[in-house]
Amino acid sequence: MGRKKSIRLTRFEIEVMEVLWGLGNGSIREIHERLPEHKQVAYTTVQTVVRRLEEKGALRQIKKIGTAFIFEPVVTRKAAHLRLIDDLLELFGGSARPLMAHLAESGKLSLEDLREVEEILSEQQSNEGGGPRSKG
Amino acid sequence: MGRKKSIRLTRFEIEVMEVLWGLGNGSIREIHERLPEHKQVAYTTVQTVVRRLEEKGALRQIKKIGTAFIFEPVVTRKAAHLRLIDDLLELFGGSARPLMAHLAESGKLSLEDLREVEEILSEQQSNEGGGPRSKG
DNA sequence: ACTAGCTAACGACATCTGTAGTAGAGTCAG
DNA sequence: CTGACTCTACTACAGATGTCGTTAGCTAGT
């Protein structure tokens, strides 16, 4: 098993990756075109960020079409999200409890949301044996 | 009324604030002494960060004892935490659901945790008729 | 082959963050 | 008053981030 160190992505890097995760793979231009409106930057800005993402190992070139490289994610959306969450949790002392409490108090969590999570947990318990184990 | 911008704090800034929230108020030296071991930095480093926090409006001087200023938080721990969460949520499309799912899947959430949150939610609902008290 | 149009490759630069050193003013024990 | 200390105020600086501009190479169409 490769113990990779889980890359930390910045906000904008996440947005770029988000587009790429959505596309499966794509060129700089495609990514640029599909960035959310609130994030309209120059083409070269995307280029730079993609280059940095490549250096970080978050994505890679898989082929070339014409003069353009096609990129593909290396880190999964899930892994990236997990990293974000872990980082946040760390600030909260490592426990998810206070995070949940905040979410609930601020009205960002519905009972319905809880139901769903509950379901996931139940499923997990019945699957115990192959899943992610807690480590200190 | 004052629609505050909700300050964004960096990791280290949060750690400093965390100490100050714990103390209620204190001097640079006190903060420096109580930073967690993994965060042993120079006294002046704390000084710099505190100055920046002051510029940001996250804390303020309330008095002077001898030559030293005593600082006090301006933003509450809760507000700061909420900001952190909101920022994260934004990356998740604004919904808490995927966040919860991740938490559950990665084993960072127990059924017991859910119970507690559920309780918070129930309480909220029963309180829900008392008038508009949705203040940020 | 030639040229217009995309692309990639670089280099730049302002901010933000984390980290610290230095100088000089204020304070307190003698 | 004076010296030893303690703080604050400044300045500095490297690395991370967000943003681009410029230059030159490669492609495709004529």
Q: What confidence category does residue A2 fall into, taking pLDDT thresholds of 50, 70 and 90?
A: low
Rounded, the Å distance between the CA of A38 and C1' of C14 is 21
Tell me the chain B residues in contact with residue A99 when contact means C-beta distances shorter than 8 Å.
85, 103
Verify that B96 and B59 share a domain, yes or no: no
Q: What confidence category does residue A111 fall into, taking pLDDT thresholds of 50, 70 and 90?
A: confident
CA-CA distance, B71 to B50, in Å (whole number)? 9
Q: Residue A102 to residues A88, A98, B120, B121: CA-CA distances in angstroms?
A: 13, 6, 10, 11
Identify the domain containing residue B112 by its residue range.
78-127
Verify that B98 and B123 share a domain, yes or no: yes
- Flag whether pLDDT at A115 surpasses 80: yes
Q: Where is the domain boundary, A55, A73, A91?
A: A73
Q: Model's pTM, two decimal places? A: 0.87
pLDDT tens column, A7-54 = 999 999 999 999 999 999 999 999 999 999 888 999 999 999 999 999
- Flag whether pLDDT at A129 surpasses 70: no
pLDDT tens column, B36-65 = 988 899 999 999 999 999 999 999 999 999
- Please say whether the beta carbons of B100 and B62 come within 8 A: no
Q: What are the tokens at A93?
A: 């002392």
> Residue A28 carries which side chain, given as an amino acid letter?
I
Do strands B68-73 and A59-65 pair parallel, antiparallel, or not at all (unpaired)? unpaired
Measured in degrees and rounded to the nearest 5, phi and psi for residue A59 equal -150, 175
DSSP state string for B6-26: -----HHHHHHHHHHHHHSSB
Verify that B60 and B109 share a domain, yes or no: no
Find how far residue B84's CA is from the centre of its chain. Answer: 8
Question: What CATH number is given to the structural domain containing A52?
Answer: 1.10.10.10
Verify that B69 and B89 share a domain, yes or no: no
Which H or E run includes B60? strand B59-65
Verify that B54 and B86 share a domain, yes or no: no
CA atoms within 13 A on the CB side of A44: 0
Q: Where is the domain boundary, B51, B73, B95?
A: B73
Q: What are the tokens at B87?
A: 């920022």
Query: For chain B (length 136 residues), average pLDDT per consecutive 10?
Result: 77 97 97 93 97 97 95 96 93 87 86 86 73 43
Interface of B with A (CB under 8 A): 11, 14, 78, 81-82, 84-85, 88-89, 91-92, 96-111, 113-114, 116-118, 120-121, 124
* 3-class SS of residue A69: strand
* 3-class SS of residue A62: strand
